[in-house]
Amino acid sequence: MNDAECPFPTFARWYDEALQCGLREPAAMALATADAAGQPSLRMVLLKSHGPDGFVFYTNLESRKAREIEANPWASLCIVWLDLHRQIRIEGTVGAVDERDSDEYFESRPRDAQIAAAASPQSRSVADRAALDRLVGREQAKHGDGPVPRPSHWGGLRVCPQRIEFWQGRRHRLHDRIVYEREGSGWRIERLAP
């Protein structure tokens, strides 16, 4: 593992390698949030963009995860590529992606995914599958063959990293663990024992 002055070139290189090696879902990452009382919650989301400004995923902004982020804007991400013996842990604050980027990404989604995003009361109770199907049917009828505009309750969230740990598996469990921690406008780098 080559230590750089900031973590983003290493992340980009590792992510590109994960994309190129044929993993089933290299963009999958666990997102951990906690509510105002500190009760943790964990679920999988998909990484949709990354760079020095952070790590972006999209969701229903009325979902449990979004409500928890509103109450406590700190979150953690964990990306695991077992076939590559690699893991990346990211911790930071979460903020909204701008409306234009959310619109652009929503427009790139398959129509059925747009309809589902508009129809689903994500994380809320529904009577049964038939009730959910009725919500989707209403949304389909509402738009016909026309475009599906991004609903106001759906958009992007960005984890702005304060700490990133790269874990590379090695023989005899002597794994490499390199941590980048924000320090002023730069990063402090340290190696941790496995």
CB 72 within 8 A of CB 34: yes
- List active site positions: 173
pLDDT category, 123, cuts 50, 70, 90? confident
| Mean pLDDT estimate for the chain | 95
DSSP state of 58: E
pLDDT at residue 1 tops 80: no
CA distance 108 to 137: 21
Q: What value does the mean pLDDT take over residues 97-121? A: 95
pLDDT at residue 4 tops 90: no
- pLDDT at residue 18 in the model: 97
Residue percentage of the chain with pLDDT more than 90: 93
pLDDT tens digits, 45-69: 999 999 999 999 999 999 999 999 9
CA distance 72 to 9: 29
CB 97 within 8 A of CB 57: no
pLDDT at residue 2 tops 80: no
Q: What value does the mean pLDDT take over residues 121-129? A: 90
Report pTM: 0.92
- pLDDT at residue 135 in the model: 93
- pLDDT at residue 64 in the model: 96
pLDDT tens digits, 133-177: 999 999 999 999 999 999 999 999 999 999 999 999 998 989 999
* Domain annotation for the chain: domains and CATH numbers: 8-102+153-191 (2.30.110.10)
- pLDDT at residue 3 in the model: 52
The b-or-e profile of 118-143 (16+ CB within 10 A means b, else e) is bbbebeeeeeeeeeeeebeeebbeee
Q: What value does the mean pLDDT take over residues 82-110? A: 97
